[in-house]
C-alpha cells in the first residue's frame, strides 16, 4: 500500500466465547497505519482467541463489541472478505494445504483484491531472497512438509506480496529459530515503516528486537490490564507477568452477556 493512506482498525468492547466459554471480556485496541501494537500475555490469556475472532475463525463467537476497519463493520464479513479488505493474519501454527501451490494462491489473492498478477514471479523471487526462503518452495504446496522457520518465512512473504493494511501476527516468534525470527521480524518492521499497521501478539519480547512496537498492551484473562511504552515489554521480560495476574476481577456475572451473535453460522 502507499505510505500516505491512513487506515484505522478499531476494536471496541470485544467479548468472545469459544465452546460456550467466554474468553475475551471487553478488549479495546485501536491500530492505525504505520503503528506497531504489541499484545503480550501469559499462556491462555486469550491471545490466539483475539486473532481468531478478528478473522472470523469458525467456532469463535462474538458476544459483544465491535471491530471496524475505517469505520466499516469487519465482523459482518466472511473471513475471505476481511482478508480482501486488508486484514492479514499470520497464524501461530500455519496450516499445511496439500495440493495448493503458494504462487497460485498469491495470484488468486492478488486478482481478488483487484490487482494484477503480472510480474508475480519476479516479485516472489525478490521477496524470497529478501526473507531467505528457498525459491523452490514458491512452487510447492502451501506449507506442506516445511520446517517451522520455513513456514513463518513463507507466511511473511505472503504478507509482503499482498501488502495488506493491517497484519495480525499470532506468535510470529513461536516455532522458528533465531535467524528466521530476525528475518521475518525485520521484514514486518520494514512493511510497518511503509505504512502497514501491526498487531503483534506474543508471549516473549524477543520479537521486538527487530520489530519495534510503539505501544505495548498486556492481556490477562481476556482483558487489557495495562498499556504503555515499549519499556513495558522489557519489564515483562525481567519480572514476568506476576504483577498483572490477579490484578483484575474474575469473570463478570452471566447477566452481563449480551447474547450470542453468531456471525459464523451464516
- What residues between 52 and 111 interact with ligand ADP by CB under 6 A? 59
Q: Any contact of residue 202 with Mg ion (CB under 5 A)?
A: no
Cα separation, 127 vs 125, in Å, equals: 5
Q: Any contact of residue 48 with ligand ADP (CB under 6 A)?
A: yes
| Residue 16 binds: one of Mg ion, ligand ADP, none (C-beta under 5 to 8 A by kind) | none
Say how many CA atoms lie within 13 Å of 120 toward its Cβ.
Answer: 20
β-bridge mates for residue 60, sequence order: 18
- Minimal distance, residue 110 CB to ligand ADP, in Å: 30
Per-residue binding string, ligand ADP, 1-40, x by CB under 6 A, is -----------------xx---x-----------------
Q: Any contact of residue 45 with ligand ADP (CB under 6 A)?
A: yes
Q: Strand, helix or coil at 191? A: helix
Q: Is 230 exposed, middle or buried (0-12, 13-18, 19+ CB in 10 A)?
A: middle
- Minimal distance, residue 46 CB to Mg ion, in Å: 8
**Nearest by Cα to 89 from 35, 45, 51:** 51
Among 7, 47, 88, 165, binds Mg ion (CB under 5 A): 47
Residues 169, 90: contact at Cβ < 8 Å?
Answer: yes
Cα separation, 194 vs 207, in Å, equals: 19
Cα separation, 6 vs 231, in Å, equals: 26
Among 27, 40, 41, 53, binds ligand ADP (CB under 6 A): 41
| Residue 23 binds: one of ligand ADP, Mg ion, none (C-beta under 5 to 8 A by kind) | ligand ADP
Among 44, 78, 228, 240, binds ligand ADP (CB under 6 A): 44
β-bridge mates for residue 16, sequence order: 24, 62
Name the residues that contact ligand ADP, by CB under 6 A.
Answer: 18-19, 23, 41, 43-49, 59
Amino acid at each position: 500500500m502507499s505510505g500516505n493512506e491512513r487506515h484505522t482498525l478499531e476494536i471496541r468492547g470485544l467479548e468472545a466465547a469459544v465452546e460456550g466459554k467466554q474468553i475475551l471480556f471487553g478488549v479495546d485496541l485501536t491500530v492505525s497505519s504505520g503503528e506497531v501494537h504489541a499484545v503480550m500475555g501469559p499462556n491462555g490469556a486469550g491471545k490466539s482467541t483475539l486473532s481468531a475472532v478478528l478473522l472470523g475463525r469458525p467456532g469463535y463467537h462474538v458476544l459483544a463489541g465491535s471491530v471496524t476497519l475505517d469505520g466499516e463493520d469487519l465482523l459482518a464479513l466472511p473471513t475471505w472478505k476481511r482478508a480482501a479488505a486488508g486484514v492479514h493474519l499470520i497464524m501461530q501454527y500455519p496450516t499445511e494445504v496439500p495440493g495448493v501451490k503458494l504462487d497460485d494462491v498469491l495470484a488468486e489473492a492478488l486478482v481478488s483484491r483487484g490487482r494484477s498478477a503480472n510480474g508475480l514471479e519476479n516479485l516472489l523471487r525478490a521477496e524470497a531472497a529478501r526473507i531467505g526462503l528457498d525459491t523452490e518452495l514458491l512452487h510447492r504446496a502451501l506449507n506442506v512438509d516445511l520446517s517451522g522457520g520455513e513456514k513463518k518465512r513463507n507466511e511473511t512473504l505472503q504478507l509482503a506480496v499482498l501488502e495488506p493494511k493491517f497484519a495480525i501476527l499470532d506468535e510470529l516468534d513461536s516455532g522458528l529459530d533465531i535467524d528466521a525470527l530476525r528475518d521475518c521480524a525485520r521484514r514486518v518492521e520494514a512493511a510497518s515503516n511503509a505504512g502497514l499497521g501491526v498487531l503483534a501478539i506474543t508471549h516473549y519480547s524477543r520479537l521486538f528486537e527487530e520489530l519495534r512496537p510503539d505501544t505495548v498492551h498486556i492481556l490477562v484473562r481476556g482483558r487489557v490490564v495495562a498499556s504503555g511504552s515499549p519499556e513495558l515489554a522489557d519489564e515483562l521480560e525481567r519480572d514476568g507477568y506476576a504483577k498483572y495476574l490477579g490484578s483484575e476481577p474474575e469473570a463478570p456475572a452471566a447477566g452481563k452477556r449480551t447474547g450470542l451473535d453468531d456471525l459464523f453460522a451464516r
